[in-house]
Amino acid sequence: MTKPKIAFFDFTSCEGCQLTVVDLLQTHLGLLDLVEIVQFREAMTEKGEDYQIAFIEGSCTRESDEERLYKIREQADLVVALGACAHLGGVNAMKNRWSIENVQTYVYGENGKDNYESYGARPISAVIKVDAAIPGCPIDRFEFLKIVQMVLQGRTPKLPDYPLCVECKLKENGCLNTMGKPCLGPITRAGCNAICPTYGDGCEACRGFAPEANFEYMREILRGHGLSEEDIDARFSMFNHYQLMQMGEDAPLSKPIVEPDAPLPTSTFAAPQEN
């Protein structure tokens, strides 16, 4: 029996989701009996171009990325968005709050716009058709394994449609929001087994928003923690800025989400200077 050939591709990202796959393969070598990996920069030097399933990590942040995505889509029977950047636009999409020229200058100096190609960050699905997504920052290795098994069986993976709080209750975790620790679990899509709240860290919604999320109630909870409206906006948009932009006037934010001429926030790290 011929094994399905799969390939991994990286766009703008930290590649942590691919490293999670590498970690998984160390303990689940049986997966390699089911598939043939023909391209995976994090794990091999070969680059085969004959593949049926493409896993794409990272968001689209340059016009030149689009042609590469089109070629992947043309070759692959199935395309899977791997992680928050590919699925949602991720943290990269926070730059969309300002003009690209402003961002390029801030990061790369006065000649940034001439030397470094860039445009507004978008999820992969904004450019090509995506057949499935594995959310998270990084992905959950066991969810990756489950979705690969479903894909190989010809089944269409479906993400959970309930909030993270369900998983916290199943694990008998105490609610962090009742303990004075801000947590976005009530508006976040489940599926990670509530890993962050289980270890005492509030959820940051890296899996995207749950369907029918009650943003106003979540804002009330966060106000109760003493967070300002700007702080709440920042938490909502850390991984989901692109989705909030798509909501337009219905975005659950305290002020307009796109301010192209606004100054970028100050940082403890100075912007690079020309030598």
- pLDDT digits 0-9 by tens, 39-50: 999 988 889 999
Same domain, 60 and 189: no
Instruction: Note whether residue 224 is domain-resident.
Output: yes
Instruction: Note whether residue 200 is domain-resident.
Output: yes
Instruction: Note whether residue 103 is domain-resident.
Output: yes
Q: What is the pTM of this model?
A: 0.89
Same domain, 194 and 85: no
Tokens of 109: 């100096």
Same domain, 127 and 190: no
Rounded to 5°, the CA angle 219-221-227 comes to 70
Last residue of a domain, one of 95, 123, 152: 152
Q: Using CA atoms in the order 100, 103, 108, 114, what is the torsion angle rounded to 10 degrees?
A: 20
Instruction: Note whether residue 244 is domain-resident.
Output: yes
- 67, exposed or middle or buried, with CB in 10 Å at 0-12, 13-18, 19+? exposed
- For 229, the domain range is 165-250
Query: How far apart, in Å, are the Cα atoms of 92 and each of 10, 41, 144, 163, 240?
Result: 14, 21, 22, 24, 10
Q: How far apart are CA 173 and CA 194, in angstroms?
A: 9
List CB contacts of 145: < 8 A, sequence separation 6 or more.
24, 28, 31
Tokens of 92: 């990269």
Same domain, 38 and 148: yes
CATH code where residue 83 lies: 3.40.50.700
Same domain, 142 and 175: no
Last residue of a domain, one of 152, 187, 203: 152
Q: What pLDDT tens digit does each residue of the chain (275 aa) get?
A: 689 999 999 999 999 999 999 999 989 988 888 999 999 999 888 899 999 999 999 999 999 999 999 999 999 999 999 999 999 999 999 998 888 888 888 888 888 888 889 999 999 999 999 999 999 999 999 999 999 999 989 898 889 999 999 999 999 999 999 999 999 999 999 999 999 999 999 999 999 999 999 999 999 999 999 999 999 999 999 999 999 988 875 678 777 655 556 666 654 444 444 44
* pLDDT the model gives residue 74: 98
Is the Cβ–Cβ distance between 15 and 40 less than 8 Å? no
Same domain, 133 and 169: no
Q: How many domains does the chain have?
A: 2
Same domain, 28 and 56: yes
Q: How far apart are CA 118 and CA 16, in angstroms?
A: 22
